[in-house]
Amino acid sequence: MTISATDRAVLGTWEDREEDFAAAQYSGKFRDAPEIVIGEETGLVLSAVHGVKHKRRGEIKEEDEGTGGLCSALGYVLGLTTAIVHDGELANDANSDPDHPIKTDLANLSLPANGGVLVDLHGMSVRRKKSGQWSEHGQDIVIGLGKDLGNSRAVGELLRDAFIEQGLVVDFGGDITTWRAQGTGTMTMWAQNRGCSAVQIEILDRFRQEKSDRQEKIRLVHSLINGLRAVRKMSC
């Protein structure tokens, strides 16, 4: 793989911006930062709603380390619109609450624009609890399609192909892990129900953490850049 100037720009920006999340111990205390940043492209929106500690069913859940900074960096370098929760402890989980403030804000701004595309970034560990038992799922990436409305499958396929090109193992549709993004309150279902195409991307921890091998981060970044460019081209 040839590392491009864009790869380096996204990686460097990601590491810089993730430092802000880490400095606040992923508590979202830098809440003055805008949660929605409108880029030159408004028809393709990236979101990261678990980049900080967040509340689900009254309990605080740990952050999906790396996803907030990664989302911000991709948006900045590629000119995409981003939606990033900065203080997850103020409201319920944005990926389960259908009335979460960030959804209201996106709707008020008519984003994604013109029935566009939402790509929602999340993090996962190497193990999945299924039928009460923990086991390793063996996947690097999971692409949840929600209810597969609009062009969601086509969007997912473009992203899947970009990941596979870099040798990443992809659970397409979430049939292996059961992470299908089909919950009524997911960002994916929210966007699809508004007439947009949307997918949820779960990223294995070894590709996105501060301690991750730099080459693994580059593989992830390179895949996302190529996949998002393909999605942007398709959706324009």
Q: Which residues of 115-137 are buried (b: 16+ CB within 10 A; e: fewer)?
A: ebbbbbbbbbeeebeeeeeeeeb
Element (H, E) at 37: strand 36-37
Main-chain dihedrals φ then ψ at residue 176, nearest 5 degrees: -80, -45
Query: Hey, which residues does 81 pair with through a beta bridge?
Result: 45
Coil, strand, or helix at residue 138? coil
How is the beta sheet containing 88-92 ordered, strand by strand? 59-61, 54-56, 88-92
> What DSSP designation does 139 have?
-
Residue range 3-23, pLDDT digits in tens = 999 999 999 999 999 999 999
Are 61 and 125 in contact by the 8 Å Cβ rule? The answer is: no
Kindly state the DSSP code that residue 194 receives in the 8-state scheme.
T
152 closest CA partner among 123, 121, 119, 114: 119
Exposure class string for 167-180: b at 16+ Cβ within 10 A, else e: ebebbbbbebbebb
pLDDT digits (tens, 9 = 90+) for 160-219: 999 999 999 999 999 999 999 999 999 999 999 999 999 999 999 999 998 999 999 999
**What single-letter amino acid sits at 217?**
K
List beta partners, residue 56: 59
216 vs 133 pLDDT, higher one: 216
Is the whole-model pTM more than 0.85?
A: yes
Residue 50 confidence (pLDDT)? 95
Q: Domains in the chain, start-ordered, CATH in brackets? A: 5-125+132-235 (3.40.630.40)
Q: What type of residue is 83?
A: A
Q: Three-class SS of residue 162?
A: helix
Q: What is the pLDDT of residue 134?
A: 56
What is the C-alpha to C-alpha distance for residues 105 and 36, in angstroms, rounded to an integer?
8
| Helices first, then strands: H and E counts in the chain | 6, 12
Contact 137, 128 (CB under 8 A): yes
Read off the pLDDT of each residue in 93-112 and give the average, rounded to a whole number.
Answer: 94
pLDDT, position 90: 65
Q: Is the pLDDT of residue 145 over 80?
A: yes
